[in-house]
Structure 1
Protein backbone atom coordinates (compact mmCIF):
# COMPACT_ATOMS: atom_id res chain seq x y z
CA UNK A 1 0.00 0.00 0.00
CA UNK A 2 1.37 3.39 -1.00
CA UNK A 3 0.24 6.78 0.24
CA UNK A 4 1.09 9.76 -1.96
CA UNK A 5 2.05 12.95 -0.13
CA UNK A 6 2.74 16.30 -1.78
CA UNK A 7 6.29 17.54 -1.47
CA UNK A 8 5.02 20.95 -0.39
CA UNK A 9 2.23 20.47 2.12
CA UNK A 10 0.89 24.02 1.58
CA UNK A 11 0.04 23.16 -2.05
CA UNK A 12 -2.35 20.41 -1.00
CA UNK A 13 -5.93 20.81 -2.17
CA UNK A 14 -8.67 18.37 -1.34
CA UNK A 15 -10.62 17.00 -4.29
CA UNK A 16 -14.35 17.36 -3.76
CA UNK A 17 -16.16 16.85 -7.08
CA UNK A 18 -14.81 15.28 -10.27
CA UNK A 19 -11.21 15.74 -9.11
CA UNK A 20 -11.71 19.49 -8.58
CA UNK A 21 -11.42 21.41 -5.36
CA UNK A 22 -14.57 23.06 -4.02
CA UNK A 23 -13.41 26.45 -5.29
CA UNK A 24 -12.68 25.12 -8.78
CA UNK A 25 -16.01 23.30 -8.87
CA UNK A 26 -18.00 26.40 -7.87
CA UNK A 27 -16.30 28.59 -10.46
CA UNK A 28 -16.77 25.87 -13.12
CA UNK A 29 -20.50 25.73 -12.37
CA UNK A 30 -20.60 29.55 -12.49
CA UNK A 31 -18.85 29.53 -15.89
CA UNK A 32 -21.33 26.95 -17.21
CA UNK A 33 -24.22 29.06 -15.92
CA UNK A 34 -22.87 32.18 -17.63
CA UNK A 35 -22.36 30.30 -20.91
CA UNK A 36 -25.88 28.84 -20.85
CA UNK A 37 -27.38 32.21 -19.91
CA UNK A 38 -25.55 33.97 -22.73
CA UNK A 39 -26.63 31.28 -25.19
CA UNK A 40 -30.32 31.62 -24.43
CA UNK A 41 -30.09 35.42 -24.21
CA UNK A 42 -28.27 35.93 -27.52
CA UNK A 43 -29.56 33.00 -29.65
CA UNK A 44 -32.51 34.97 -31.12
CA UNK A 45 -30.22 37.84 -32.19
CA UNK A 46 -27.09 36.10 -33.54
CA UNK A 47 -26.05 33.04 -35.46
CA UNK A 48 -25.01 29.79 -33.75
CA UNK A 49 -21.29 30.22 -34.40
CA UNK A 50 -21.22 33.79 -33.10
CA UNK A 51 -23.23 32.85 -30.01
CA UNK A 52 -20.86 29.95 -29.29
CA UNK A 53 -17.83 32.29 -29.38
CA UNK A 54 -19.58 34.81 -27.15
CA UNK A 55 -20.40 31.99 -24.69
CA UNK A 56 -16.76 30.90 -24.62
CA UNK A 57 -15.51 34.46 -24.12
CA UNK A 58 -18.13 35.13 -21.45
CA UNK A 59 -17.42 31.96 -19.48
CA UNK A 60 -13.62 32.04 -19.72
CA UNK A 61 -13.00 34.67 -17.00
CA UNK A 62 -15.20 32.82 -14.51
CA UNK A 63 -13.52 29.50 -15.28
CA UNK A 64 -10.07 31.07 -15.00
CA UNK A 65 -10.86 32.56 -11.58
CA UNK A 66 -11.18 29.06 -10.15
CA UNK A 67 -7.84 27.80 -11.41
CA UNK A 68 -5.44 30.77 -11.49
CA UNK A 69 -2.97 31.32 -8.66
CA UNK A 70 -0.19 33.90 -8.74
CA UNK A 71 2.53 34.01 -6.10
CA UNK A 72 0.41 31.81 -3.86
CA UNK A 73 -2.62 34.11 -4.09
CA UNK A 74 -5.96 33.13 -5.55
CA UNK A 75 -7.29 35.23 -8.41
CA UNK A 76 -9.52 37.40 -6.23
CA UNK A 77 -6.72 37.94 -3.70
CA UNK A 78 -4.45 39.01 -6.56
CA UNK A 79 -7.11 41.33 -8.00
CA UNK A 80 -7.65 42.93 -4.59
CA UNK A 81 -3.87 43.36 -4.07
CA UNK A 82 -3.53 44.90 -7.52
CA UNK A 83 -6.45 47.29 -6.93
CA UNK A 84 -4.99 48.33 -3.59
CA UNK A 85 -1.53 48.95 -5.01
CA UNK A 86 -2.70 50.75 -8.16
CA UNK A 87 -5.78 52.68 -7.04
CA UNK A 88 -6.12 52.90 -3.27
CA UNK A 89 -2.56 53.42 -2.04
CA UNK A 90 -0.59 56.60 -2.75
CA UNK A 91 1.84 56.40 -5.66
CA UNK A 92 4.58 58.69 -4.42
CA UNK A 93 6.81 56.95 -1.93
CA UNK A 94 9.17 59.24 -0.07
CA UNK A 95 12.25 58.01 1.64
CA UNK A 96 13.65 60.13 4.40
CA UNK A 97 16.81 58.89 6.00
CA UNK A 98 16.78 58.72 9.75
CA UNK A 99 20.20 58.56 11.37
CA UNK A 100 19.54 57.28 14.89
CA UNK A 101 23.15 57.77 15.92
CA UNK A 102 23.02 61.45 15.05
CA UNK A 103 19.69 61.83 16.85
CA UNK A 104 21.12 60.16 19.97
CA UNK A 105 24.25 62.36 20.00
CA UNK A 106 22.70 65.61 18.75
CA UNK A 107 22.70 67.27 22.18
CA UNK A 108 26.32 66.36 22.78
CA UNK A 109 27.41 67.61 19.36
CA UNK A 110 25.60 70.97 19.73
CA UNK A 111 27.17 71.47 23.19
CA UNK A 112 30.65 70.86 21.72
CA UNK A 113 30.01 73.30 18.88
CA UNK A 114 28.85 76.02 21.31
CA UNK A 115 32.08 75.87 23.36
Structure 2
Protein backbone atom coordinates (compact mmCIF):
# COMPACT_ATOMS: atom_id res chain seq x y z
CA UNK A 1 0.00 0.00 0.00
CA UNK A 2 1.37 3.40 -0.98
CA UNK A 3 0.24 6.72 0.40
CA UNK A 4 1.05 9.78 -1.66
CA UNK A 5 1.92 12.84 0.38
CA UNK A 6 2.12 16.20 -1.43
CA UNK A 7 5.43 18.02 -1.23
CA UNK A 8 3.65 20.99 0.21
CA UNK A 9 0.85 20.60 2.70
CA UNK A 10 -0.97 23.57 1.14
CA UNK A 11 -1.52 21.53 -2.04
CA UNK A 12 -3.67 19.03 -0.17
CA UNK A 13 -7.39 19.26 -0.83
CA UNK A 14 -10.03 17.14 0.83
CA UNK A 15 -12.46 15.41 -1.51
CA UNK A 16 -16.08 14.95 -0.47
CA UNK A 17 -18.07 13.70 -3.45
CA UNK A 18 -17.01 12.20 -6.81
CA UNK A 19 -13.41 13.21 -6.07
CA UNK A 20 -14.31 16.91 -5.96
CA UNK A 21 -13.39 19.32 -3.23
CA UNK A 22 -16.14 21.18 -1.38
CA UNK A 23 -15.59 24.29 -3.48
CA UNK A 24 -15.65 22.36 -6.76
CA UNK A 25 -18.76 20.42 -5.74
CA UNK A 26 -20.70 23.55 -4.74
CA UNK A 27 -19.76 25.31 -7.99
CA UNK A 28 -20.76 22.22 -9.99
CA UNK A 29 -24.16 22.10 -8.27
CA UNK A 30 -24.65 25.83 -8.91
CA UNK A 31 -23.71 25.34 -12.57
CA UNK A 32 -26.22 22.51 -12.97
CA UNK A 33 -28.89 24.64 -11.27
CA UNK A 34 -28.13 27.58 -13.54
CA UNK A 35 -28.29 25.34 -16.61
CA UNK A 36 -31.63 23.82 -15.61
CA UNK A 37 -33.13 27.20 -14.74
CA UNK A 38 -31.89 28.76 -17.97
CA UNK A 39 -33.26 25.87 -20.01
CA UNK A 40 -36.77 26.08 -18.58
CA UNK A 41 -36.84 29.87 -18.84
CA UNK A 42 -35.70 30.02 -22.47
CA UNK A 43 -36.91 26.82 -24.20
CA UNK A 44 -40.35 28.24 -25.00
CA UNK A 45 -39.02 31.51 -26.39
CA UNK A 46 -36.00 30.43 -28.44
CA UNK A 47 -36.45 26.69 -28.95
CA UNK A 48 -34.88 23.64 -27.36
CA UNK A 49 -31.64 23.51 -29.34
CA UNK A 50 -30.77 27.18 -28.88
CA UNK A 51 -31.80 26.97 -25.22
CA UNK A 52 -29.33 24.13 -24.70
CA UNK A 53 -26.51 26.29 -26.04
CA UNK A 54 -27.60 29.16 -23.80
CA UNK A 55 -27.50 26.72 -20.86
CA UNK A 56 -23.87 25.89 -21.60
CA UNK A 57 -22.98 29.58 -21.75
CA UNK A 58 -24.83 30.25 -18.47
CA UNK A 59 -23.31 27.30 -16.59
CA UNK A 60 -19.70 27.55 -17.81
CA UNK A 61 -18.57 30.51 -15.66
CA UNK A 62 -19.94 28.90 -12.50
CA UNK A 63 -18.30 25.57 -13.29
CA UNK A 64 -14.96 27.18 -14.14
CA UNK A 65 -14.99 29.21 -10.90
CA UNK A 66 -14.75 25.99 -8.87
CA UNK A 67 -11.67 24.71 -10.67
CA UNK A 68 -9.89 28.01 -11.37
CA UNK A 69 -6.45 28.50 -9.80
CA UNK A 70 -3.89 31.11 -10.81
CA UNK A 71 -0.71 31.48 -8.75
CA UNK A 72 -2.54 30.03 -5.76
CA UNK A 73 -5.47 32.45 -6.07
CA UNK A 74 -9.07 31.29 -6.28
CA UNK A 75 -11.39 32.85 -8.84
CA UNK A 76 -12.77 35.47 -6.44
CA UNK A 77 -9.31 36.45 -5.21
CA UNK A 78 -8.05 36.71 -8.78
CA UNK A 79 -10.99 38.89 -9.86
CA UNK A 80 -10.50 41.19 -6.85
CA UNK A 81 -6.75 41.49 -7.52
CA UNK A 82 -7.43 42.23 -11.20
CA UNK A 83 -10.05 44.90 -10.44
CA UNK A 84 -7.82 46.46 -7.82
CA UNK A 85 -4.75 46.61 -10.06
CA UNK A 86 -6.49 47.58 -13.31
CA UNK A 87 -9.31 49.85 -12.12
CA UNK A 88 -9.02 51.02 -8.52
CA UNK A 89 -5.28 51.68 -8.39
CA UNK A 90 -4.77 52.26 -12.10
CA UNK A 91 -3.34 55.42 -13.53
CA UNK A 92 -0.02 56.87 -14.46
CA UNK A 93 2.67 56.32 -11.89
CA UNK A 94 5.01 59.24 -11.87
CA UNK A 95 8.48 58.86 -10.40
CA UNK A 96 9.73 61.92 -8.60
CA UNK A 97 13.16 61.66 -7.13
CA UNK A 98 13.94 63.50 -3.95
CA UNK A 99 17.46 64.49 -3.08
CA UNK A 100 17.51 64.75 0.68
CA UNK A 101 20.99 66.24 0.74
CA UNK A 102 19.96 69.20 -1.46
CA UNK A 103 16.77 69.65 0.53
CA UNK A 104 18.69 69.90 3.81
CA UNK A 105 21.25 72.27 2.29
CA UNK A 106 18.50 74.55 0.94
CA UNK A 107 16.80 74.64 4.34
CA UNK A 108 20.10 75.50 6.07
CA UNK A 109 20.79 78.26 3.55
CA UNK A 110 17.34 79.73 4.18
CA UNK A 111 17.97 79.64 7.92
CA UNK A 112 21.34 81.34 7.52
CA UNK A 113 20.01 84.21 5.40
CA UNK A 114 16.86 84.78 7.44
The residue aligned with 1:113 is none
Q: CA RMSD in A?
A: 2.4
Q: CA deviation at 1:27?
A: 0.5
1-structure distance, mates of 2:69, 2:26: 16
2-structure distance, mates of 1:48, 1:104: 75
Secondary structure of the residue aligned to 1:52 is: helix
The residue aligned with 1:61 is 61
Give CA deviations for 1:1-54 in whole Å, capped at 9, x if unaligned.
321111232221111111111000111000000000001101111222111111
2-structure distance, mates of 1:105, 1:87: 38
The residue aligned with 2:27 is 27
- 1:24-103 residue pairs with structure 2 within 5 A? 24-99=24-99, 102=101
1-structure distance, mates of 2:85, 2:47: 42
Equivalent pairs counted in the alignment come to 111
The residue aligned with 1:17 is 17
TM norm structure 2: 0.83
Secondary structure of the residue aligned to 1:43 is: helix
